[in-house]
Amino acid sequence: MAELATYIVQGLRSPFARIDRELASYDALQLSVPVLQQTVVGDRGLGRGRDGEIDLMIWGSVIPNLSVSNWGREVWLDAKLDPAVPALTIVQQCASSLAAATHAAAQTRAGQIDLAVCGGVESMSCMQIGLTQGLSQTVRRAASSGGPGAFMRTLAAVRPRDLRVSVPQAKERTTGKTMGQHTEEMVRRWNVSREEQDRFALASHLRAVAAGKKGVYRRLLVSPGTFPASDDPIPRSDTSLDRLAALRPAFGAGGSLTAGNSSPLTDGAAACWVASAAGLDRFHAVPPHARLLDWEQAAVEIAVDGLLMAPAIAIPRLLARHDLGYADIDLWEIHEAFAGQVLSTIRALENREWLRERAGIDRDLGAFPQDRVNPNGGSVALGHPFAATGARLLSQTVLELAEMPSGSRAVISICAAGGLGHVALLESV
């Protein structure tokens, strides 16, 4: 059976806010529910009362929670939408909601479904702190020990080394290093200077501020509650190269990554749609949409290639499959975990040896058009709620493509912890 055309349709998102700031009182469910409700039954979605026409819901969340495992189902139920819609959770770290969209797209291409809503959430402010394994086992046994005496005897058996809490950290389990430490290794390998990173970060902020003034993001934003949805609070209009240069290294003395050229820990939720042509007909007024042409995933050996370098393998493979070069892509939306990560990726994409040895592509893809990257700012300026970033990029890219001629192409690229990369190729309709 021939593959069916698949489309990404603009969804909505909450504002993105720094950890412990404007959205600190909202947990992941409270952030997700209004975004999902307004995406599905608001005047920019299917329209009130038509949520029964959805075939599938996929949601992502990276940070563990003791009371929620299947985020997709729990968010869906709390949103009081059609309980007959299947819902599942997907986790691919920072690429989770992009993975949700391509997972749904595979089913639309096969003719199994026509319309899915996808997205993700992260509430960094409401992250739960755990106990050590030994203390967890002791407390569990004490709670079921049967009587006060047995309870106290069980607790008395706690070992001193277990009397501590476990705070989740943005570290690689297999290496023990933070993502920032890994990126420091990458920028040294690819000779990316501190000044280059600061210039890239400044451009991200200035573009995001300009986009905010033009109302670009207001078409995407929905309030999670009392916090207004008029704009994102993170982009800095008052930053400068001098201010960025004055910041101290964030991941060890002598490093070049700072709080200014890295994405901040962020709260937020985002959604988008995945539809077949028949699925588009279910909207009462079709929102902006783009054709999803293809996608690619890659993984790297962290110690050899660098933690966040997988997109530099996935991108050339995706382009080569369609006989495209870098100049054939009119818009690049590259997730900015760090300015240095984006610049290292671009260095690799222009390196013929890397393309041949690591991506298996023995052809010249041309000079990379850096002036087409993130025209309305990226994650350094807007923030990065891990599992929400993919849906943010998809909806934002759809809006940007809608302003371009039919047939314009865009690449979305996300690096992810674990040495993973997920990229997608879209085309304006």
Which residue numbers are catalytic?
A: 94, 384, 415
Q: Decide: residue 66, CB within 10 A, 0-12 exposed, 13-18 middle, 19+ buried.
A: exposed
How many Å apart are CA 116 and CA 85, to the nearest integer? 10
Q: Could you give the angle at the alpha carbon of 170 between the alpha carbons of 317 and 248, nearest 5°?
A: 100
How many Å apart are CA 113 and CA 55, to the nearest integer? 6
Are the CB atoms for 417 and 247 separated by under 8 Å? no
**Backbone dihedral angles phi then psi of residue 298, each to the nearest 5 degrees:** -145, 160
Q: Could you give the angle at the alpha carbon of 34 between the alpha carbons of 25 and 89, nearest 5°?
A: 90
Q: Decide: residue 238, CB within 10 A, 0-12 exposed, 13-18 middle, 19+ buried.
A: exposed
- CB burial of 275-310 (b: ≥16 within 10 Å; e: otherwise) equals bbeebbebbeeebbbbbbbbbbbbebebeebbbbbb
Are the CB atoms for 238 and 196 separated by under 8 Å? no
Inter-residue long-range contacts of 173-179, CB under 8 Å, 24+ positions, other chains counted: 174/302, 175/302, 175/303, 175/307, 178/251, 179/307, 179/308, 179/337, 179/338, 179/417
What is the SS3 assignment for 9?
strand
Are the CB atoms for 40 and 81 separated by under 8 Å? yes
How many Å apart are CA 274 and CA 10, to the nearest integer? 9
How many Å apart are CA 164 and CA 146, to the nearest integer? 25
